[in-house]
């Protein structure tokens, strides 16, 4: 019940295209859903986060869509750029406690 | 405002030695979390601390691992008698409010 399932494992997108990464969870106590971006040899960087009281949040080219009834959330990267090539992790937590991470998606944006 | 600092960035130990990993949270952050990332895997929670208190250690192995966050100074993750399976990247994150967690650059531990 503590798992967060992330898909796809890897993704190749053309420059200018839309990258979509999906996550699903079981624990209805989760109340905070962040996305992190990680480059090789670096720590994860917080990209964007959402709470269950809203269905969508947009920051620049990054959008989180949240479906509470389906217990799913997704990250959309609009106008994907080669510099977006990285590993993306979804995560979830309840009441500010430990983050439970998905397995990660390796994104490659082809120029 | 400096980010989360971790040192050393790389640490090499022989089997049976001790490893000490240090984490200085961002200024004003009193919540510290430690995570481990094995090669080609996601991040796994280890322990959550506030100043002088362990809040949740459900992800810590029962033996050889310990963590502290003293009133003064950095948080320390200590691994005694390291084994090859301890080789991983260890990340510290800090938070001002128990929500947003900001990660440090990590310590990459290699056990020979």
Would the pLDDT of A75 be above 80?
yes
Q: What pLDDT shows up at residue B1? A: 59
What was the pLDDT predicted at B2?
A: 78
- CB proximity A97 to B under 8 Å: yes
pLDDT, tens digit (0-9, with 9 covering 90-100), for B27-46:
989 999 999 998 877 899 99
CB contact under 8 A, B103 and A99: no
Best of B21, B33, B43 to mutate (most A CBs within 10 Å, chain A): B43
Chain B contact set for A95 (CB, 8 A): 98
- Record: contact A100-B45, CB cut-off 8 A: yes
**Complete DSSP assignment for A63-87:** EEEEETTTTEEEEEESS--GGG-EE
Rounded to whole angstroms, how far apart are CA atoms A60 and A57?
A: 10
In chain B, which residues touch A (CB < 8 A)?
A: 4, 31, 33, 35, 41-45, 48, 55-56, 58-59, 91, 93, 95, 97-106
In the three-class reduction of DSSP (H, G, I as helix; E, B as strand; rest coil), residue B100 is classed as coil
pLDDT score recorded for residue A16? 98
Q: Mean pLDDT across chain A, nearest whole number?
A: 95
B97 contact residues in A (CB cutoff 8 A): 96
Contact status, residue B67 vs residue B84, Cβ threshold 8 Å: no
Q: Rounded to whole angstroms, what are the CA distances from A8 to A22, B15, B26?
A: 7, 37, 33
- The answer to whether A104 faces chain B, any CB pair under 8 Å, is yes
Rounded to 5 degrees, what angle do the CA atoms B47, B55, B29 make? 80
* A16 Cα to chain B: minimum distance (Å): 28
Residue in A2, A27, A33, A44 to test binding to B, most B beta-carbons within 10 Å: A44
Would you state the pLDDT for residue A1?
62
Q: What is the pLDDT of residue B49?
A: 95
C-alpha A4: how far from chain center? 11
Residue B71 is encoded by which pair of tokens? Answer: 């009133």
- The tens-digit pLDDT sequence of chain B (112 residues) is 579 999 999 999 999 999 999 999 999 899 999 999 988 778 999 999 998 899 999 999 999 999 999 988 999 999 999 999 999 999 999 998 878 999 999 999 999 9
Residue A13 pLDDT grade (very low, low, confident, very high; cuts 50, 70, 90): very high
Residue A60 confidence class, pLDDT cut points 50, 70, 90:
very high
The structure tokens 């750029």 sit at A81
Of B57, B55, B56, B51, which Cα lies nearest the Cα of B69? B51
Residue-level pLDDT at B52: 87
Beta-strand pair B107-111/B102-103: unpaired
């Amino acid at each position: 019940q503590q798992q967060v399932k992330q898909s796809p494992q890897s993704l190749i997108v053309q420059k200018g295209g839309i990258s979509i990464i999906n996550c699903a969870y079981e624990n209805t106590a989760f109340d905070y859903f962040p996305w992190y971006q990680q480059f090789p040899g670096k720590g994860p960087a917080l990209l964007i986060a959402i709470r269950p009281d809203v269905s969508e949040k947009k920051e620049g080219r990054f959008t989180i869509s949240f479906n509470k009834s389906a217990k799913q959330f997704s990250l959309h990267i609009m106008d994907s750029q080669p510099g977006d090539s990285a590993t993306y992790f979804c995560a979830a937590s309840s009441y500010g406690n430990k983050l439970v991470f998905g397995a990660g998606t390796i994104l490659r944006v082809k120029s | 405002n400096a980010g989360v600092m971790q040192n050393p960035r790389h640490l090499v130990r022989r089997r049976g030695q001790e490893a000490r990993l240090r984490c200085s949270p961002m200024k004003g952050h009193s919540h510290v979390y430690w995570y481990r990332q094995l090669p080609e895997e996601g991040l796994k929670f280890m322990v959550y601390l506030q100043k002088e208190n362990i809040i949740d250690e459900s992800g810590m192995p029962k033996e050889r691992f310990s963590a502290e966050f003293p009133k003064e100074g950095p948080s320390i993750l200590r691994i005694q008698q390291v084994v090859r399976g301890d080789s991983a990247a260890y990340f510290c994150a800090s938070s001002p409010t128990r929500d947003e967690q900001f990660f440090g650059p990590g310590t990459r531990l290699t056990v020979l």
